[in-house]
């Protein structure tokens, strides 16, 4: 499981059914289990997402191995697109935040 920071002020776009809508737009069919959302897409079976707080998004992914390169690339692209829309941070910004947390010993 990975915990991602949510950009300040971005929570309003994912609260309520916002997170489910983003997942549906990117991954297709989404299943709701309490406060968690699950979807199967490409090599991810499943990707489970939930809000830990207004500042943190939890993402748990089980990845299939041995898929074709085409499916792997589509999966990575979809995951990155989802994380940009869900957190408000680009992949570069997310990486910098994780590195900063690691240096501070917060991981």
Q: What is the pLDDT of residues 13-29, one digit of tens each?
A: 999 899 999 999 999 99
pLDDT digits (tens, 9 = 90+) for 51-72: 999 999 999 999 998 899 999 9
97's tokens: 């935040």
Number of domains, the chain: 1
Per-residue pLDDT, averaged over 38-48, amounts to: 93
| CATH, residue 96 | 3.30.310.190
Per-residue pLDDT at 85? 96
Query: Is the distance from CB of 30 to CB of 47 less than 8 angstroms?
Result: no
pTM for the model: 0.90
- Which residue, 8, 25, 63, 73, is CA-closest to 37? 25
Containing structural domain, residue 97: 2-104
């Amino acid at each position: 499981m990975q915990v991602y920071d949510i950009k300040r002020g971005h929570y309003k776009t994912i609260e309520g059914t916002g997170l489910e809508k983003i997942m549906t737009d990117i991954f297709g069919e989404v299943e709701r289990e309490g406060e968690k959302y699950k979807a199967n897409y490409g090599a991810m079976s499943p990707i489970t997402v939930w809000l830990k707080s207004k500042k943190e998004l939890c993402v748990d992914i089980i990845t299939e191995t041995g898929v074709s390169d085409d499916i792997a690339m589509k999966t990575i692209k979809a995951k990155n697109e989802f994380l940009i829309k869900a957190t408000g941070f680009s992949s570069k910004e997310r990486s910098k935040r994780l590195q900063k947390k690691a240096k501070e010993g917060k991981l």
